[in-house]
């Protein structure tokens, strides 16, 4: 029974794993189940600080993103290999010394600032059938621009 589960898990995992670390500021674009009148699916963007990454590199791996919206802290846990994630964009990378940044929950204002390690802009596209062509087209445009 477990061999069937292992085969299924290997099929679901992707070869590329996005380089997401605690201390990164990321922008995650999600595909929502709602459809507009035209038939297009709605997307939602969630931008914040990665405070944890759990369960390694397997199919069950997750990462937690925290943002402050109207003075209220909002945390969301994303499965790394979710088919609903369209794009993960790393905006900034900060220098941290811990794997879990749960202490950031109690900090506010200037105390919540982190030292920037490097300013980067990395985009990672999921390998869905719908947006695979879009990702390849954008890569070609970037190559021709450079």
Domain boundaries, the chain: 2-145
Is residue 144 pLDDT above 60, yes or no? no
Percent of the chain residues topping a pLDDT of 90: 32
User: Three-state SS for 128?
Assistant: coil
24-38: average pLDDT: 86
pLDDT value for 81? 86
31-49: average pLDDT: 86
pLDDT class of 51 with cuts at 50, 70, 90: very high
Are 13 and 59 in contact, with CB atoms under 8 Å apart? Answer: yes
Percent of the chain residues topping a pLDDT of 70: 78
Phi, psi of 74 (to 5 degrees): -125, 125
pLDDT value for 17? 76
48-61: average pLDDT: 90
Is residue 49 pLDDT above 70, yes or no? yes
Is residue 145 pLDDT above 70, yes or no? no
Give dist(CA 84, CA 12) in Å, integer: 13
| Topology of the domain comprising 2-145 | SH3 type barrels. (2.30.30)
pLDDT value for 136? 54
pLDDT value for 67? 93
């Amino acid at each position: 029974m477990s061999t069937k589960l292992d085969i299924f898990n290997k099929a679901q995992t992707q070869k590329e794993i996005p380089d997401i670390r605690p201390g990164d500021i990321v922008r995650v674009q999600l595909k929502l189940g709602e459809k507009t009148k035209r038939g297009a699916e709605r997307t939602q963007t969630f931008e914040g600080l990665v405070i944890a990454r759990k369960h390694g590199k397997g199919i069950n791996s997750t990462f937690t993103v925290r943002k402050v919206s109207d003075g209220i802290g909002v945390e969301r846990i994303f499965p790394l290999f979710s088919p609903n994630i369209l794009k993960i964009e790393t905006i900034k990378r900060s220098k941290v010394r811990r794997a879990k940044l749960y202490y950031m929950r109690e900090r506010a204002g200037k105390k919540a600032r982190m030292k920037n390690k490097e300013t980067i802009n990395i985009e990672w596209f999921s390998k869905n059938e719908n947006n695979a062509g879009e990702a390849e087209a954008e890569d070609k445009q970037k190559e021709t621009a450079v």
